[in-house]
C-alpha cells in the first residue's frame, strides 16, 4: 500500500502492485521449493526496461531477472523464480524504467525507477516467533 489513496493507486494513477494473493504468489510452498512471484505494472507507465526480483538468501541479496508474461486488463505482468530458503521470505521487485518517466510524486525516475516489495510468511511453514513485518 502506498499511502497515496486506494491500494495500488498513486496521485498520478495506478502503481506497480504485488500482494500475497494467489495471483502474485503461490499459496503453498515448502523449504527448498521454487516459488514463482509476480508483479503487475500499469500499462500506462510504458514498458519497463527490466524488472528484477531481489531476495535475501542466507543473509545475502540475490537478483533474478523477471520475465514479461504479457498484458491483461491494463497491466503488464512480470514473473521470477525465488528459491524458498526460510519460512519468512523477504523480497522486493525493482523496476527499471525509461529515462524521463515520472514517478507518482512528480519526480523524475532514473534507471532504478520503482520498487515494490514484501515480507511474506509462507503458508505451509508456520514456525512460532517469526516476524512478518517488512
**CA-CA distance, 63 to 47, in Å (whole number)?**
20
Is residue 132 included in any domain, yes or no?
Answer: no
Compute the chain's Rg from CA coordinates: 15
Write out the three cell numbers for 99: 529515462
Does the reported pTM lie above 0.75?
Answer: no
- The answer to whether the beta carbons of residues 134 and 116 sit under 8 Å apart is no
Q: CA angle 78-79-84, nearest 5°?
A: 150
Judge whether 28 lies within some domain: yes
Mean pLDDT of 24-51: 90
Residue 91 confidence (pLDDT) above 70: yes
Could you tell me the pLDDT band of residue 127, with boundaries at 50, 70 and 90?
very low
Domain assignment present for residue 129? The answer is: no
Q: What is the mean pLDDT of residues 79-84?
A: 95
Terminal Cα distance for the chain, rounded: 12
**Number of structural domains found in the chain:** 1
Residue 93 lies in a domain: yes
Amino acid at each position: 500500500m502506498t499511502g497515496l489513496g486506494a491500494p495500488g493507486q498513486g496521485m498520478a494513477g495506478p502503481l506497480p502492485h504485488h500482494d500475497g494473493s494467489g495471483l502474485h504468489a503461490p499459496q503453498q510452498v515448502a523449504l527448498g521449493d521454487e516459488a514463482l512471484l509476480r508483479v503487475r505494472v500499469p500499462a500506462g507507465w510504458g514498458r519497463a526496461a527490466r524488472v528484477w526480483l531481489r531476495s535475501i538468501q542466507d543473509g545475502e541479496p540475490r537478483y533474478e531477472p523477471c520475465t514479461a508474461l504479457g498484458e491483461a486488463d491494463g497491466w503488464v505482468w512480470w514473473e521470477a523464480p525465488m528459491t524458498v530458503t526460510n519460512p519468512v521470505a523477504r523480497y522486493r521487485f525493482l523496476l527499471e524504467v525509461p529515462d524521463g518517466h515520472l514517478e507518482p510524486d512528480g519526480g523524475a525516475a532514473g534507471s532504478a525507477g520503482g520498487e515494490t516489495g514484501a515480507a511474506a510468511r509462507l503458508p505451509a511453514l508456520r514456525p512460532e516467533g517469526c516476524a512478518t513485518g517488512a
